[in-house]
Structure 1
Amino acid sequence: MKHCKLIVLCISSIAIVICAVMIIRINVLYPNAEVISYTKDNPVDINGLEVKPIDYSVYTLDEFSEISSEYDRYLKRENKDKKRVVVFTLSVRNTTDDIISYSPSFVMVIEELCASNGAFPIINNDNPSQQSINVLPGEERQLVLKSMLSTSMLKYENFDKIESSTMTLVYSFYPYRRKLVFDKR
């Protein structure tokens, strides 16, 4: 019986050592992402397009429906008070001699509230399929994105904290976590 316990102990010890070595190896091969933040004063250059975070606003669905017809279909639902729309304004400027077609791809993250969701351009009613913009050489334009938060992404008690939180739009996660940081209001 003692012999059997010794064998089990040796096998368990070897398994623990192998697991520890594998965990250390993975952490050496794939370290945590380096965080690079861009602000209004320090814009990012994405392939010749200078992107600068300007500001954000938080709306209820009723408030957002007054400025956009995009969420009219949601207004008849029961839990519309448990949803918020965050609208981001970005400035984009073409620094190249070529026309740039830009399709924004961001994830809105509120780190202190542990909330996130995709951020998409507000749909143009004239062309609802348009998800990209063309920026002429030297041209500067404003780009407006929206992201919806609901109680499945954030506790209802935290909805009042959204406006005072630091909003980020993350566009690259690894090996560098690149994000646009919007100032608190």
Structure 2
Amino acid sequence: MKRYKWGILTIILVILITCIGMIIRINVLFPNAKVITYTSDNPADLDGLIIKPVNYKVYTMEEYSEISSRYKNIQGEKADKSRVVVLNILLKNTTEDIITYYPSGNMVIEKLHARNGVTLQEPDKMTVTVMPGEELEVGLHAYIGPSQLDYKLFDKIDSSTVTFVYSYYPYRQRIVFNK
């Protein structure tokens, strides 16, 4: 009977050591992402396309329906518990080539743990074409509904840091917006 207890204990110990070794190996192979922050004073440069944050604004669904028809179907209680965050960025092409920019990333409010993907504010466009030497101001919008953030926390958005995260690994690259 003692022999079985020692055998089971040995098997459990081998499994435990193997699991710990695998966790350490994964953490060595894939360390935490390095955070790189861009601001209006230090804009992001994506292969010659400068992306500079301008500002952001939080809209109620009623306010947003006055400037866009994108969320006209959201009404009533759901509209009261939803917001749209518009991130305005300045794109500048510093190359001699035509650049087609596709906004890929998430609007993140880190303090409140809210996030959602962004798209161009113009409903019929998926990309922006920036000619050599051209500067364009572009609006990106992100919908925030009950599944992204509790509606009771909407008044805390303006006192939180709003970012546009466009890369998560191996570098977490984020653009920080000011009100």
Shift of 1:106: 1.7
Aligned to 1:119: 118
Q: Where do 5+ consecutive residues of structure 2 fail to align?
A: none
Shift of 1:78: 3.6
| Matched positions, count | 179
The sequence identity of aligned pairs, in percent, is: 50
Whether 1:94 and 2:93 are equivalent positions in the alignment is: yes
Shift of 1:68: 1.5
Aligned counterparts of 1:19 and 1:83: Cα–Cα separation in 2: 43
Aligned to 2:162: 167
Shift of 1:123: 2.2
CA deviation string 1:60-113 (max 9, x = no partner): 1001111222221223x4421000100010000000011111111121111111
* Equivalent residues in 2 for 1:6-21, closer than 5 Å: 6-21=6-21
Aligned to 1:41: 41
Q: CA RMSD in A?
A: 1.1
Shift of 1:169: 0.5
Q: TM-score, normalised by structure 1?
A: 0.93
Aligned to 2:58: 58
State the secondary structure of the residue aligned to 1:73. Answer: coil
Aligned counterparts of 1:100 and 1:10: Cα–Cα separation in 2: 61
Aligned counterparts of 1:23 and 1:6: Cα–Cα separation in 2: 26
State the secondary structure of the residue aligned to 1:9. Answer: helix
Whether 1:27 and 2:27 are equivalent positions in the alignment is: yes
Q: Where do 5+ consecutive residues of structure 1 fail to align?
A: none
Report the AA paired with residue 69 of structure 1: S
* Equivalent residues in 2 for 1:77-156, closer than 5 Å: 77-124=76-123, 128=124, 130-156=125-151
State the secondary structure of the residue aligned to 1:79. Answer: helix
State the secondary structure of the residue aligned to 1:35. Answer: strand
Report the AA paired with residue 43 of structure 1: P
Aligned counterparts of 1:21 and 1:111: Cα–Cα separation in 2: 32
Aligned counterparts of 1:123 and 1:144: Cα–Cα separation in 2: 8
Aligned counterparts of 2:149 and 2:128: Cα–Cα separation in 1: 31
Aligned counterparts of 2:106 and 2:71: Cα–Cα separation in 1: 20
State the secondary structure of the residue aligned to 1:148. Answer: strand
Q: TM-score, normalised by structure 2?
A: 0.96
